[in-house]
Amino acid sequence: MKKISLTDVTLRESSKGQENSLSFKEIIETAKILDKLDVDIINIAPIINEKVDTLLVRTITSAVKNSVLSIPVGITKESVDIAWKAINSAVKPRLSVELPVSTVQMEFNSGLKATNVIDLIDSLVSRSKELCNDVDFSALDATRSEKDFLINALTTAINAGATTVTICDTAGLLMPHEMDVFINSLYESIPSLKTVTLAVRCSDELSMATACAATAIRAGATEINVAINSGIAPSIKEIALLIKTRGDDGGYYSNIKTTNLHRSINQIHWLTKSKGEKKSPFQTGIKNNQVKDVKLDANDDMPTLEKFIKKLGYELSAEDLAKVYETFIRLAEKKSVGTKELEAIIASTAMQVPPTYKLVSFVINSGNTINATANIHFQKNGEDSFGLATGDGPIDASFFAIEQITGQHYELDDFQIQAVTEGREAMGSALVKLRYNGKLYSGNGISTDIIGSSILAYLNALNKIVFEESHKS
């Protein structure tokens, strides 16, 4: 029996759309579900912002225990090193070199010459191989490339050390019988292709992705790119069930836990579908389309502002509302104020309270052989308090350590991080929303250390909760 590996590209592809992009926590949760489902390879998004994205990738590596984690490396040797630095703590890391091989993709879309592409393949695959044993070369738009050039590209990648080559039908134009001819011709033309894993990525433009993937398996492919939502690739459900029901006939199988498939798909589908269609436990409980296009200006009065604040999930006292409105007006006189700006104003202005807890220090340890560990030192009203906890990543461990200090669990309603300046010393901003006794408390933290800013944001929200609880009549 021949094993067919499944590579899920949901997280990789979801990063390309801004409107429905996933939050930090949603990405982590999706990766965990895929890992528990025994998906062989999880393809994640490339590094765009080194500071923020590296933290995200490292957190994913801590959460994923079984699956291979594959990350695209970019088109420079420096980008290869950055990708490897982010993913090298994974239990099973993979570096993926992705380059176009069709004329339309190379010259018109990417501005690359054919000779440059061959040189890049050799350079990037070689550098990736120096760092990582598992290297994939993805030939983008391979099915529309010149055959001789494709043969040259794949041969170059294999000679440079690629252990997997992925043939991409990017336009999704092949029919099943054409896929069969295409794969067999490659095996005939490239003898070394039999020494590596052949993967196939089929777009579903003509609703033929599943059929083409099935044909590719029969032709010799042993790795198939899939996704939770069909269109960008064959549905993982369709491919997994196809292998389960017809695998005995063809002599192949997969490791996917089909008994958990339906539930897992529903979970991920819920996480990854349009934000306007769901109420996420990582959001404030409102549908984004209610406030997505909100633009407030200096002409908006306090009742209007209060209405949108309530839509965001906040219940402010009259005093806090007045403070927020004052800050809002100062900003609105210079520019329009959207949802993100309004939340930042609330986090930084409302309920600024005397700090019950103060951060003294924190130490974070993580790696590919241990769970992330956080050792946090707080002072509560001048008295030292310590928390030591493990988690699925450095931030997860940090929040558990804080709960250990407080002896209280708080529902994490939302968590967001972003870089607010550029460069290696970029400032990172974190927003934390905690829900306690049905009420939402937000905290904001800024630091050159993303983990530090996350701890400060949690601390800010925590102090608001403690202050309000201590002043209840």
- Of 124, 214, 232, 79, residue with least CA distance to 168: 232
pLDDT at residue 279 is higher than 50: no
| Mean pLDDT calculated for residue range 307-317 | 76
Quick one: CATH architecture of 357-470?
A: 2-Layer Sandwich (3.30)
**Between these two residues, 366 and 403, which has the higher pLDDT value?**
403
The amino acid sitting at 457 is A
**What whole-number percentage of the chain has pLDDT above 90?**
41
b vs e for 88-126, b when ≥16 Cβ sit within 10 Å of the residue's Cβ? bbbebbbbbbbbbbbeebbeeeeebebeebbebbbbbbb
- Judge whether 299 and 256 are in contact, CB under 8 Å: no
Q: What average pLDDT score do residues 151-175 get?
A: 95
- For residue 293, the model assigns a pLDDT of 52
Residue 17 burial (C-beta neighbours within 10 Å; 0-12, 13-18, 19+): exposed
Reply yes or no on whether the pLDDT at 159 is more than 70.
yes
| From 13-17, 330-334, 410-414, 462-466, the region with the lowest mean pLDDT | 13-17
Residue 283 binned pLDDT confidence (cut-offs 50, 70, 90): very low
CB atoms < 10 A from the CB of 391, how many? 20
Mean of per-residue pLDDT scores for the chain: 84
Q: What is the pLDDT, as a whole number, of residue 351? A: 58
* Contact status, residue 52 vs residue 417, Cβ threshold 8 Å: yes
pTM above 0.85, yes or no: no
pLDDT: is 470 or 142 the higher one?
Answer: 142
Residue 142's nearest CA partner among 67, 71, 79, 225 is 225
Most confident of 60-69, 324-333, 348-357: 60-69
Residue 292 clears pLDDT 70, i.e. is over it: no
- Give the pLDDT of residue 278: 41
pLDDT winner (highest mean) among 29-33, 323-327, 375-379: 375-379
Highest averaged pLDDT of the listed ranges 97-101, 272-276, 366-370, 408-412: 97-101
Q: Decide if pLDDT at 246 tops 80.
A: yes
What is the structure's pLDDT at 230? 67
Q: What 3-state class would DSSP assign to 183?
A: helix
Q: Which residue has the higher pLDDT, 152 or 460?
A: 152
**CA–CA gap between residue 144 and residue 332 (Å, rounded):** 51
Higher pLDDT, 212 or 298: 212
What percentage of the chain carries pLDDT values higher than 70?
86
Nearest CA-CA partner of 396 in 448, 458, 464 = 458
**Better-scored residue on pLDDT, 133 or 471:** 133
| Per-residue confidence (pLDDT) for residue 294, from 0 to 100 | 67
Q: Are 432 and 458 in contact (CB under 8 A)?
A: yes
Least confident of 216-220, 222-226, 384-388: 384-388
For the stretch 88-104, pLDDT in tens is 999 999 999 999 999 88
Q: Per mean pLDDT, which range of 107-116, 152-161, 286-295 is the poorest?
A: 286-295
Note the pLDDT of residue 262.
80
* pLDDT given for residue 277 in this prediction: 43
What is the average pLDDT across 138-154?
A: 95
3-state secondary structure of 268: helix
Contacting residues for 124 by C-beta, under 8 A, at least 6 apart? 73, 75, 77, 80, 97, 99
Q: What is the pLDDT of residues 395-450, one digit of tens each?
A: 888 998 998 898 888 888 888 876 544 444 445 678 888 888 878 888 877 666 78
Q: What is the mean pLDDT of residues 138-167?
A: 96
CATH superfamily, region 2-273: Aldolase class I (3.20.20.70)
Burial of 51 (0-12, 13-18, 19+ CB in 10 A): buried
Query: Given a cut of 70, is residue 291 above it in pLDDT?
Result: no
pLDDT higher at 215 or 419: 215
User: Does residue 276 have a pLDDT over 60?
Assistant: no
Distance, in Å, from the CA atom of 461 to the CA atom of 444, rounded to the nearest integer, reads: 8
Tens-place pLDDT, residues 440-456:
888 877 666 788 888 98
Q: Does 160 or 205 have the greater pLDDT score?
A: 160
Give me the mean pLDDT over the 1-28 stretch: 80
